[in-house]
Amino acid sequence: MDFSANLGMLWANLPLPDAIRRAKAAGFAAVECHWPYPEDAGAVRDALMETGLPMLGINTRKGDAGEFGLCAVPGRESGARASIDEALGYAAQIGAQAVHVMAGKAQGAAAREVFLGNLRYGLHAARELGITLLIEPLNVYDAPGYFLRSTDQAARIIEEVGDAHLRLMFDCYHVQITEGDVSRRLTRLLPHIGHVQIAAVPDRGAPDHGELDYAHVLRHLAGLGWTRPVGAEYRPEGATEESLGWMDKLKAS
């Protein structure tokens, strides 16, 4: 199993091009990040080309302070669509494979319709660019009030939209906290999944302790035919390089 470094948490104190180079030196097969927009896209693209690492994905902006995206928030359609356009444009410049469309804090039927409309809007351009849109349920402790709260809810939206460029971001950390039964959910939802992420539960540390046995989870995932890098989206204690002992163990499991 290969791994992708989530640079929003690993080497987050470094400029993105330098973080990409650190990820390469540490043995990661890919990178991903949250909000790269302050960084010059050309410099990021150059670092990716230099290292040969693919950029698996970036996020749409969170919005104002305390927000977790805009794309399911009634009345914020203009800002939501601008954030999708911005993310797709930046992703195209650096060769990123996916954009995580952040839904935001909203509930109810109106929010669902707004989210569907904004996803369909984004998919027109995403198809042309060959970019996948990802949606991700977040747990109620880290993101109270977030629109997407379960994998089943996300799967129903993906099925209703019915576009191969819309996929599920399956973050094992969030899924375990909110729903559990990670292995069976991976099996059932595999046709919808576009990316998988890992971190320890419940502290979001390195994936070598806590409630989930990732050696088992990743063997199961590989047995399902998954071949893409799995995203390491965790908060290291101390220097990131000192937290990477898990990687060789899980590669060998």
- pLDDT tens per residue across span 151-181: 999 999 999 999 999 999 999 999 999 999 9
Strand order of the β-sheet with 30-32 is 30-32, 3-6, 230-232, 193-198, 166-171, 132-135, 98-100, 58-59
Task: Report how far apart, in Å, the C-alpha atoms of 45 and of each of 2, 40, 42, 61, 95 are.
Answer: 21, 9, 5, 20, 7
For 59-86, the pLDDT digits (tens) are 999 999 889 999 999 999 999 999 999 9
Arithmetic mean of pLDDT, 10-16: 96
Residue 231: CATH number of its domain: 3.20.20.150
Q: Which H/E stretch holds residue 214?
A: helix 214-223
Arithmetic mean of pLDDT, 9-22: 97
For 200-230, the pLDDT digits (tens) are 999 999 999 999 999 999 999 999 999 999 9
* Residue pair 181/219 in contact by the 8 Å Cβ criterion: no
What is the model's pLDDT at position 125? 96
Domain around 161: 3-252
What is the model's pLDDT at position 3? 98
Longest dimension (CA), the chain: 49
What is the model's pLDDT at position 185? 98
What is the model's pLDDT at position 66? 86
- What's the first-to-final CA gap in the chain, in angstroms? 9
Domain count within the chain: 1
Q: What is the mean pLDDT of the chain?
A: 97
Q: Which residues are catalytic?
A: 136, 233
- pLDDT at residue 252 greater than cutoff 90: no
For 93-151, the pLDDT digits (tens) are 999 999 999 999 999 999 999 999 999 999 999 999 999 999 999 999 999 999 999 99
